[in-house]
Amino acid sequence: MRERIQRAIDDLVASGDETGLQVAVLSGGTATVDAVAGRAAPDGPPVTPGTLFYAASTGKGVAATLAHVAVERGLIGYGTRVAEVWPEFGAHSKGGVTLRDVLLHTVGVPGLPADITIADMCDWDRMCALVAAAEPWWPPGTRTGYHAQTFGYLLGETLRRATGRRLSTLLRELVTGPLSIEDEVHFSVPDDLLPRVATQVAGPALEPPPPGSPAARATPAAVLPDAAYANRRDVLTADIPSGGTMSARGVARMYAALLGHVPGVRLVSPERLALMAAPAFSGVDQVMGFPTTWAYGYSPYRPGGVAGREGSTFGMIGMNGSAAWADIDTGVAVAVMRNRFAAGDLTAVEAVGRIVAEGGG
């Protein structure tokens, strides 16, 4: 498997379709692949296993993991009403929204103001105030719609109010610190680690959704992530937990720990693992317009086109073509990072997924 994945990512870089790639695969907790190819910037240094990549919504899987670990520790419950810990959020008939609704994207507040700016996105208090004051698009809990940007503030402020710790602090305390990956998986990147972050290179531009459409109302063009957005210092160093910056080996280790394969670290019980990976809500996505299924904060999609047992695979894919996932039945955890920002291009992820599946994982 290691040789096949290395050849595949070398070929993608040689073809010009990729600038830099990083792949990690852990099987039963053992690192079987830690492969790199290409450069961290067009004229920059080679990618190393320690290079950090902006990974867009792959970070949502990290945020969801933090929520499940917090529940495991008794800090909050899936049925906890958000307004219990964050009273302002109860405005406009949102008082019944629970942590479970947040994880399933059923809250009904995916939208952002049309005049939102990137500076606003980096202002935690302002964004949380906007989300708290939002009127739901549908009765909470009855439909699902991708909360592309608001998910992170919803989840993050709920956890902050419940625990008294800001999200990046909680992440280090509950997840990355115990796993010794505190320098490898981030919502906000510390200043001293910024030199390790790969430069995102613009690929084909993403066509903005039609003006006035649900997708455009959810993510206005001014804050639609692209390479320039991902390279901004203020974005990289702010808590915007609908995204994240990480290494493949770091986030793969997190998923391996969820599977229970990291000695000395038990993030969640086997019973909770089964619950959080199981598909829990299906319906037409009210933002994107197509049928979708959510597990508890994760997508049940398995890259590579090889179907497994429902409720076995869970993870998240980033719009820039990064991904991280795990499979309970086979015991594998996989992550793919890239720095060519071509929205929706999953060529590398699918190629790695196929090789992993054919390799018995």
Residue 277 CA: distances (Å) to CA of 259, 272, 281, 300, 329: 11, 9, 12, 7, 12
SS3 assignment, position 165? coil
Pairing of strands 332-338, 20-27: antiparallel
Residue 288 sits at φ, ψ, to 5 deg, of -90, -25
DSSP type of residue 46: B
With CA atoms as reference, report the closest residue to 81 among 55, 67, 101, 63: 101
Residue 216 CA: distances (Å) to CA of 70, 116, 207, 210: 33, 12, 11, 6
- The structure's pTM equals 0.97
DSSP type of residue 336: E
Residue 2 CA: distances (Å) to CA of 7, 112, 155, 337: 9, 43, 36, 16
Q: What is the third-level CATH fold of 2-358?
A: Beta-lactamase (3.40.710)
Burial of 113 (0-12, 13-18, 19+ CB in 10 A): exposed
pLDDT tens, position by position, for the chain (361 residues)? 999 999 999 999 999 999 999 999 999 999 999 999 999 999 999 999 999 999 999 999 999 999 999 999 999 999 999 999 999 999 999 999 999 999 999 999 999 999 999 999 999 999 999 999 999 999 999 999 999 999 999 999 999 999 999 999 999 999 999 999 999 999 999 999 999 999 999 998 777 889 999 999 999 999 999 999 999 999 999 999 999 999 999 999 999 999 999 999 999 999 999 999 999 999 999 999 999 999 999 999 999 877 779 999 999 999 999 999 999 999 999 999 999 999 889 999 999 999 999 885 4
- Positive or negative, the Cα torsion across 41, 58, 113, 68? negative
